[in-house]
Structure 1
Amino acid sequence: MQSPDPVPAWWYRHRRAHGIGSWDEPMHVRLLAERRMPIERSPFRHEGLRPAGLHHYSGITSEHYPAGELIVTVGYPAQRRPHFGADDTALLALLLPALRVAHHAQATAAARLAAAVALLDAGAEALQVVAADGRTLHRNAALGALLASEPERDRLEDAMAHAARGLRALRRPRADASSIAATLHGTPPERAVATTRARYVVRARPAPEAAWGAPGVVLVSVARDAAAPDVAAAARALGLTAREAEVARLLVERLTNAELAGALGISVHTARHHTQRVMQKLGVGSRRELAARLRAT
């Protein structure tokens, strides 16, 4: 703890230097008096201990780890004056082994988490870690760069959330086979997303529980679909203009006219006009026929 008040600053240094794992108020006051630092003049007492209700206090601490130290302090209301003696200090000392084990586990878990984050950040795969309750625990630099370059990042983020929910649903215990089948067919943990710029594949897989320190954590990845056909090039080869080819590519992805308008920044009326013109020029009557015609080219 860093403090301009010399009382806590000296106390923390002294306690660590002498291995004091448990203490009470009389011990604290006596040691400070020996250093000519009366605790009655300390802001730490009047602004920290007393407002927190820590009268006649005692405490224990874990060993000092790189991540810090864990301190448990117990205080009593001013009207209660428990007897502090050897038995009380010994009783508190009995809790020290358990406290140190817990703190060591906490420090070890923090180190594992830091290593997992560093590993994600060092890789080229665009990844996001999602907690069981849907919170984003980490998003690596590769994913940040991908989303920053994608004008329709909201569509990608929606697909990522959907994939994470789907995987959690698949892993959740179900009561009967019919509900399992419904989950398998209704919420797949992988999906394709097409934007005006590219086509992506979003996948979800379980994250190592030991690394993230919690169950149900999901690792979501986003990658450009290398297998996606160049529909726009095929449309150009069939005589469409560059704008019509872009419209055709989006129609192949089954976008509605409203979605098409949003993707291209045009009105729904204009999107409908583009759709009709593309289908007329290619001689097709539906988006399904349009997709078949362009992918066969």
Structure 2
Amino acid sequence: MKTSQRSQEAGSSPPVKKLLDKPNTITSINIWYGLRGFFGSVSNVTCLNDEEIWTSGDENTMKLCSISQGSLLKAIKTKSRNEPADIAVTKSGDLVYTDTDDRTVNIVKNEKIEAVIRLQNWRPKGVCSTSSGDLLVILMSNNKKQSKVVHYHGFIEKQTIQFDDKGKTLFSDSTNFITENRNLDICVSDSGVTAVVVVNQAGKLRFRYTGHTPAPKKKSFSPRGITTDSQSHILTADDNNECIHIIDQDGQFLRYIDCELDAPWGLCSDTNDNLFVVQKYISQVKKIKYLQ
């Protein structure tokens, strides 16, 4: 779950919630992004708490917005002035962002930015904060031909996940988003192989979810943002079909969320299981209720 506020600790049993027959949009928040007078897009969203969200997009600025008021509360520029590749909020409430061009993972404390991870042969992309307070980061090789997931504990490399038991690569070079499920599975959206790739805590492949037919737009599966909820559902944005796929923790398709979405991209969920969906090209975030 891409949020610093978890409703239950991993491993405990949350109250059972059922999927709504018809998900509904609670509110929409417009967030303008753009540089040098050009209209830009918003790509990423992460919950600071149940009232505020961080976003990033086609600009070197990360913006904190009020959900209820739809207003901008704070804007922080990246240290390198590059666009952040992804953002997350740590368990302690600090903002983390990856800088692909600068090859750094950065943390923002009291509006001061520190590069806590510096890389040489790899470039960071997707990032999430785990229930234990660690970081999971997707890394892409400098030649853009390989990807792997690295588990950092205290900003020290603890584990690398790259190959399956047969020595084959688990991820393509177009792996972008990552999250941790309640059972500590690591869930990755990989647009290069059009699949959600799920491995267990030890890095062993559990399954690949490659979409469900019929899709709302009858187009190929195109996974983007990914998040989880208190029921261990895995949710991923599908920008081709302009919907959200909901699957269970074992990869079984449950339902689509189809709320007139426009190019859904980044996802996150809050402690009440409200879903926040980035609509990339219209620079808007929708808050959607889909659980009872």
TM superposition score normalised by structure 1: 0.21
Bigger share in helix: 1
TM superposition score normalised by structure 2: 0.21
Greater CA radius of gyration, 1 or 2?
A: 1
Larger relative contact order (CA 8 Å, sep ≥ 6): 2
